[in-house]
Amino acid sequence: MKFSTTSTALYTALDTVSGALPSKSDKEILECILLQRKGELLEVRASDLEVSIRHRFPVSFSSEPNEDLDLVAVPAKQFLESCRTLPEIPITFEVKESYKVILSHDRGQYDWMGFEGYSFPDFPSITEAQSVEFDRGQLKAGFNLVNFAVSKDMSRPGMMGILFEVLEGSARIVGTDGHRLARCIFQDYEGKLDVSALAPFKAFQQVARVEGASKCKIEISENYLSFKFGHTQISSTLINASFPNYERAIPTENDKIVLLNRDDLLDSVRRVNFFASENSHQILLDCKDDEIEISAWDVERSSKGAETISCEYRGDATQVGFNAQYLLDLLRNLPPGEVSLSMGTPNRAALMRPIPQNELRDLTLLIMPVMLNTGDDY
């Protein structure tokens, strides 16, 4: 196989699929990027056996079709680094016998050894799938709003993924780690399917990262979730575990409502957190009248901090404890402006929402409270 293209086109293709490369692997073939001739197009592919990405683009082939040499696995690190900083120049790529790879341009030439491509994992074939058309910009926005809540605990695989649901009249994306939950409902979606898929974090991360067409075709089968946009396809295995019943976790009877500016609360929590226990990061919100006091203390360091900010408060006076780091995560993922914080009993989940909601999506963030003393012994 021998073809010519530009350095920019080749690197764009390599970068597109590189997100599927494993961080580390004991299989040498998975540390490669596969190149395959497909008519007048070049297909570039990478996989970690869980997430696979392929991208096709036109090149100028100067060799006759060759069943063996038209399929080659090239070590990814060398390939990417040899193209990363090249200016926009014509380049030639050639595969010789024994899978020797030559990349040349008018400034130089790189030679290294590739591998026969037949041992590279096949791209998943999705059959009996339900499909929907979706705006990838919305998917990216939804992922960016909920990804902070996804668990990294290997012992809880059902929480390590992102739930994507298409229900009658709505679509939603949800993440949780048991302490926090984020749900984004796409308001303007008029779907007629009733399907859900729990996919790895990495799959949605790549959908959000990769440049390409805005219109996206999503296919959901029993074992796979696939995203097709432009000349790129991202396919992922589904997580074989149960996602928590998140609708049951979202309280509907929180009767203590705080309305305030997001940045005011964010800045206060950030400052007061410096005085909290370095182990627990626990802070106390004392809500009454038209103000809220945020306080934290650490007996071991003999430190204490408190601030009061004005707000609109509805309900009986209450005190609720939170992990400051978790609360900061919620606040950072809310848009600037007014927000609502609704609470119930001190052990019931609290909810945060932007005011007003985005006209295209409805965002709800949940945080579990913590039980703590009031600092009277400080």
Residue 376 lies in a domain: no
269 and 240 inside one domain: no
Question: Cβ(285)–Cβ(293) under 8 Å?
Answer: yes
- Mean pLDDT, to the nearest integer, of 355-378? 81
Residue 377 lies in a domain: no
Distance CA 237, CA 49 (A): 8
49 and 143 inside one domain: no
Burial grade of 222 (CB within 10 A; 0-12, 13-18, 19 or more): exposed
243 and 263 inside one domain: no
108 and 8 inside one domain: yes
Reduced DSSP (H G I as helix, E B as strand, rest coil) percent helix, strand, coil of the chain, to 5: 20, 45, 35
Last residue of a domain, one of 119, 150, 180: 119
User: Does residue 18 or residue 135 have the better pLDDT?
Assistant: 18
Question: Cβ(209)–Cβ(201) under 8 Å?
Answer: no
For residue range 99-114, list pLDDT tens digits in order: 999 999 998 999 999 9
Q: Residue 358 maps to which CATH number?
A: 3.10.150.10
Range of the domain at 196: 130-247
196 and 218 inside one domain: yes
321 and 351 inside one domain: yes
154 and 55 inside one domain: no
Cis, bond preceding 356 (omega within 30 deg of 0): yes
179 and 198 inside one domain: yes
Question: Cβ(16)–Cβ(53) under 8 Å?
Answer: yes
82 and 160 inside one domain: no
Question: How many structural domains are present in the chain?
Answer: 3
168 and 277 inside one domain: no
362 and 260 inside one domain: yes
Eight-class DSSP state of 187: T
For residue range 306-351, list pLDDT tens digits in order: 999 999 999 999 999 999 999 999 999 999 999 999 999 888 999 9
Q: Report the pLDDT value the prediction gives residue 373, as an integer from 0 to 100.
A: 61
Q: Report the pLDDT value the prediction gives residue 194, as an integer from 0 to 100.
A: 80
Inform me whether the pLDDT recorded for 374 exceeds 60.
Answer: no
Residue 319 lies in a domain: yes
- Residue 188's pLDDT band (cuts 50, 70, 90): low
Share of the chain above pLDDT 70, in %: 97
